[in-house]
Structure 1
Amino acid sequence: MQHVTAVVVTYNRIDLLKECLQALREQKVDRDTQLDIFLVDNASTDGTKEWIDGMVSAGDAEDRRIYATHLAENTGGAGGFYTGMKWAYEHGADAIWIMDDDTIPQADALQKLLDGMMCAGNEVAPQDEIGFVSSTVLWTDGSPCQMNRQHYVGQEVTVSGKGAEESALTLQAVDSATFVSLLFTRVAVENKGLPVKEYFIWGDDKEYTLRISETYPCYHVKESVAIHKMKTNAGSNIVIDDIERVPRYFYAFRNDLCTAKRHGTKEVCIYFAAFFLNMLRILFKSRDGKKMRIATMWKGMTAGMRFAPEIGGWKQ
């Protein structure tokens, strides 16, 4: 029996959480796969705690065991995934499938990831353990989700599926992806540690997937599909984003510099080139809040010069 734990991090989005959980309960997987669900409530105040507690006590008709933890404070996506993945590892998961509460995986999304992981291990990289496999992420209208594109480092490879449907799968090597329907192997988590919880939000997925892919081959399984129910289909862009969201970019500029420092001088130079290009774009293209946008960038960058949280093992 293969044990998979799905980790969902949620914060004050009870309606989306209900939809996400229903999609997880409806996953069609082989009989030798046990799917458990672990919900990480980041101190929600909208009734999420009470609803989750009801779900946990009621159990699941499909034998999907549901577990949960309620954090005392909002630790952001980074803290939530740290907590959830640590719990899954400590409770014996063979693979850990992670997503936010606004992620709606199609019914065969997990099985396609499992098939892709097995095919990669057997055919594409037979001498290597696999780090992670990721799904295709679409927006609500079926178009590619701009915020959730993988970074490719290899050509597409077509393999024959070995799972329930035995259909062809398209795999493409990646070195980074976002935390929207990623399936990690136990060995990768054990040997490369957990996400950096101090990142809070933004950039934690890039840092962690780059860390995994430094050692293990990782792939995008294109036939595995999840819908990301974001309000708009737009990537992160401090130049044009709504003014009320601008303070959040502090974490992006702080965390990205921290990650760049870990990867050497070239990445730091790329960071600063992009930094000053964004400043120019704000000056010439932003419709409002130019001073606030630049101040946020500067605050994040200067904090990033000192920011160096420790990366330890899974017991950190």
Structure 2
Amino acid sequence: MPPDAPRIAAVVVTFNRIGLLRALLERLEQVPELAEILVVDNASTDGTGGWLAGLGGRVHARTLDENGGGARGFHDGLAWAVERGADLVWLMDDDGLPDAGCLPRLLEEPDLDFWGPLVVDEADLRQLVFPIRLPGGTRVVHQLADVQRAATAGRLDDIVIPFNGVLVTRELVERIGLPRAEYFIWGDDHEYRLRAEAAGARIATVVDAQVRHPAVGSLGTPMMFGRTTYNHSPSDLKHYCMARNNLLNLREYRGWPHALAFVAKTVWFYTFTRPSPRRLGMSLRAMYDGLRGDFTGHRRYLR
């Protein structure tokens, strides 16, 4: 690397997916732009910690004392990378696999603070794993071709899917702080993007840089006769955290009208779109827990 090149550290958060982690680290070891690869193990029980302890080279690992979810993993991992002198930090879960040219393509965009690739379905590269609401309107797209048509000079400004191959500058971390560790999962990444946006960060998605990722369920499920969508997950743990954390994010960054609209959407979705009194009760309990500052309720859904 040139002597004036930024020091780049990858931060990988993992939990009980040693097979996926092996494949990811093999890929990252082939990325010459990386100074080091920092792995935060969320107290895995599948042998991940022992396997990581035997690695060397650019890979360094920490095993947490308990499973703190992706939120604590990225909180601790980002702090660790900055402490070790990283100028740029490349954040990712263990279940994504960046294409070989992903990081070099991201580095071609020098004027950004918080930016990342598209996340595409590993089983169908034409599909997005996480739907994107296009800037300047309400249209939500699910296909790669739609994003490519909407891009300008190869990117979508003001949009990013955090913590799936996203780059963040040291300067931005020092300005806005670290992700909220108490969120556990689902919403911590979105909160960090909203915080960056509020601080005036330059944000973008580079549409010809890609990370391949497994499908995650019925995100963006149509509701209210197709006029809007809802992020339904079959996982009780993910849904509880989403309901709690999303309500708090909306209240903090969009105000009470948006927060109450989310409550109304949740009630509609589990009353009419996919009727489930149990899931509706869970949703309302999660929202109540968040409003009173209780971030322990997700533990009842841990396995």
State the Cα deviation string for residues 247-298 of structure 1 (Å, max 9, x = none).
Answer: 4322111111221222243xx32232232222222223336xx222011111
Q: Which residue of 2 aligns with 1:48?
A: 48
Which runs of no fewer than 5 residues in structure 1 stay unpaired? 60-64, 122-129, 159-169, 310-316
Which runs of no fewer than 5 residues in structure 2 stay unpaired? 138-149, 222-229, 296-303
What are the residue-to-residue correspondences of 1:53-92 with 2, within 5 Å?
53-56=53-56, 59=57, 65-92=58-85
Q: Which residue of 2 aligns with 1:255?
A: 245
TM superposition score normalised by structure 1: 0.78
Alpha-carbon deviation of 1:233? 5.3
CA contact (8 A) 2:217 2:232 kept: no
When the two chains are superposed, the root-mean-square deviation of aligned CA atoms in Å is 2.3
Structure 2 residue identity aligned to 1:102: D
CA contact (8 A) 2:13 2:40 kept: yes
Q: Which residue of 2 aligns with 1:12?
A: 16
Q: Distance in 1 between matches of 2:116 and 2:161?
A: 7
Q: Which residue of 1 aligns with 2:151?
A: 156
Alpha-carbon deviation of 1:178? 2.9
Q: Distance in 2 between matches of 1:150 and 1:91?
A: 35
Structure 1 residue identity aligned to 2:130: M
CA contact (8 A) 1:40 1:71 kept: yes
Q: Distance in 2 between matches of 1:151 and 1:200?
A: 27
Q: Distance in 2 between matches of 1:53 and 1:106?
A: 26
> Relative to 1, partners in 2 of residues 1:6 and 1:149: Cα closer, same or farther, differing over 3 Å?
farther
CA contact (8 A) 2:15 2:41 kept: yes
> Relative to 1, partners in 2 of residues 1:197 and 1:241: Cα closer, same or farther, differing over 3 Å?
closer
> Relative to 1, partners in 2 of residues 1:183 and 1:204: Cα closer, same or farther, differing over 3 Å?
same
Q: Which residue of 1 aligns with 2:120?
A: 138
> Relative to 1, partners in 2 of residues 1:16 and 1:150: Cα closer, same or farther, differing over 3 Å?
farther
Q: Distance in 2 between matches of 1:149 and 1:142?
A: 15
- Match for 1:179 among 145, 163, 169? 163
Alpha-carbon deviation of 1:21? 0.8
Alpha-carbon deviation of 1:183? 0.3
Q: Distance in 2 between matches of 1:171 and 1:216?
A: 16
What are the residue-to-residue correspondences of 1:1-316 with 2, within 5 Å?
1=3, 2-27=6-31, 29=32, 33-56=33-56, 59=57, 65-116=58-109, 118=110, 121=111, 130-140=112-122, 141-147=124-130, 149=132, 152=135, 156-158=151-153, 170-214=154-198, 215-230=200-215, 232=216, 234-235=218-219, 241-242=233-234, 245-265=235-255, 268-286=256-274, 290-307=276-293
Structure 1 residue identity aligned to 2:41: D
Range that drifts further, 193-202 or 170-179? 170-179
CA contact (8 A) 1:239 1:286 kept: no
Percentage identity across paired residues of the two chains = 33
Runs (4 or more) in structure 1 with deviation over 6 Å come to 236-239
Range that drifts further, 174-183 or 300-309? 300-309
TM superposition score normalised by structure 2: 0.82
Alpha-carbon deviation of 1:83? 0.5
| Aligned residue pair count | 269
State the Cα deviation string for residues 67-93 of structure 1 (Å, max 9, x = none).
Answer: 110001000000000010000001000
> Relative to 1, partners in 2 of residues 1:132 and 1:55: Cα closer, same or farther, differing over 3 Å?
same
Q: Distance in 2 between matches of 1:195 and 1:222?
A: 25
CA contact (8 A) 1:136 1:224 kept: yes
Q: Distance in 2 between matches of 1:249 and 1:3?
A: 37
